[in-house]
Structure 1
Amino acid sequence: MSPVSPYQVCVAFLLRDRADGRTEVLLGRKKTGLGSGNIVGLGGKIEPGESALEAIVREIEEESSLVVAPGDLTEMGLVKFAFPFRENWSQDSTVFVAREWRGEPQESDEVSPAWYPLDELPLEAMWDDAKHWLPAVLAGERVLGDFVFGEDCATVSHHELHDPQ
């Protein structure tokens, strides 16, 4: 694994089952900041003194108005992102999944949320790394990955997935 990044973030994927048996995931179009325009999971920066779990509960509510109890979140791993051509973008992201929450998703200043069927993930509109690990996480697998982005800061130039055990 790569060294620990000073920039720690968290991301969550909320899942629900439709009446027809298909499962959907809540994603959102990022409206501001890093990754603006991309479709992303809910989440953001872990504040000083805050655990990843505390941060993701706060971020979900800030970005979507949904309230998730800490016990309803399952930590699914860690994904590390290196941006050699823009070091201040490098970050480590703790990944969570939840199937229980209160409320209905609402648009915020940061994200415009929408539900996507798992078999129709908008991977082409997401960060380039998502195609390498997100489907597995949404299928219930843990992830531990290192991703290095190229000079364009958009395309993965190298990645490694490790055994998360």
Structure 2
Amino acid sequence: MADVHYPYTLCLIRQDDQFLLLNRQKQPAMGMWNGVGGKIEPNETPTAAVIRETFEETGIALAEVRFAGTVVLRAEQAVGIYLYLADLPIDQTLATPLATREGILDWKSLNWILDPDNIGIISNLKHYLPNILNGPLCRHTFDYNQHQLTDYTTDVLPEDALQSIH
């Protein structure tokens, strides 16, 4: 993990049993609900990038985020993402739905996100979300063929994975 550098971050912000999700109005994943995040800038750590991207997309200034693993999406080429989880304090609020330049932000319950009949959620989120809430740090690898998920594997990250992203 120490020599792997992914170009993107993704943050799942929760408050109680609700998660702040973005319904994207542009590609990639246009029209799908997902966490917030984006591209890591040169000389920026993944942690600094996810805090900056979260603020840019939501207006929330996170004081603390927790590294929650990685996602690798393999289609025509592989793309890697650093996953983060952040808890929004109860005394901090964000009224939703809220239209932004990126799409619509809204709070969604864990049950709503994980419902097997929910086709509006980005396909990989339902797979890795339970793990990042309860499991060890993992690399979640998803294989796609023409935007259809064909395979999903999980590998536990080495113990030094957390140190390599700061």
Q: TM-score, normalised by structure 1?
A: 0.80
Q: CA offset at residue 47 of structure 1? A: 1.4
Secondary structure of 1:67 counterpart: coil
- 1:78 and 2:70 correspond: yes
Q: Percentage identity across aligned positions?
A: 23
By how many angstroms is 1:162 displaced?
A: 0.7
Residue pairs, 1:49-88, within 5 angstroms: 49-69=43-63, 72-84=64-76, 87=77
| CA deviation map 1:118-160 (0-9, x unaligned) | 122165212222222122223465331111111x2x2111221
**Superposition pairs for residues 26-37 of structure 1, below 5 Å?**
26-37=20-31
Displacement of 1:75 after TM fit? 0.2
Matches within 5 A, 1:1-165: 8-17=7-16, 23-69=17-63, 72-84=64-76, 87=77, 90-100=78-88, 104=94, 106-121=98-113, 123-139=118-134, 141-150=136-145, 152=146, 154-165=147-158
Question: What secondary structure is seen at the aligned counterpart in 2 of 1:119?
Answer: helix
**Are residues 52 and 104 of structure 1, via their aligned partners in 2, closer, same or farther at CA, if it must alter by over 3 Å?**
same
- What's the offset of the Cα at 1:42? 0.6
SS in 1 for 2:156: coil
Structure 2 residue runs of 5 or longer lacking an equivalent are 159-166
Amino acid at match of 2:56: E
Cα root mean square deviation, aligned: 2.3
Instruction: Give distance in 2, aligned partners of 1:25 and 1:141.
Output: 20
Gaps of 5+ in 1: 18-22
Instruction: Tell me, in whole angstroms, the C-alpha distance in 2 between the residues paired with 1:55 and 1:109.
Output: 18
* TM-score, length basis structure 2: 0.79
Counterpart of 1:104 in 2: which secondary structure?
coil
Following the alignment from structure 2 to structure 1, what is the Cα–Cα distance between the partners of residues 125 and 152? Answer: 11
Cα distance in 2 for residues equivalent to 1:4 and 1:147? 17
Q: Give the direction of change, closer, same or farther, for the CA distance of 1:28–1:109 in structure 2 (3 Å limit).
A: same
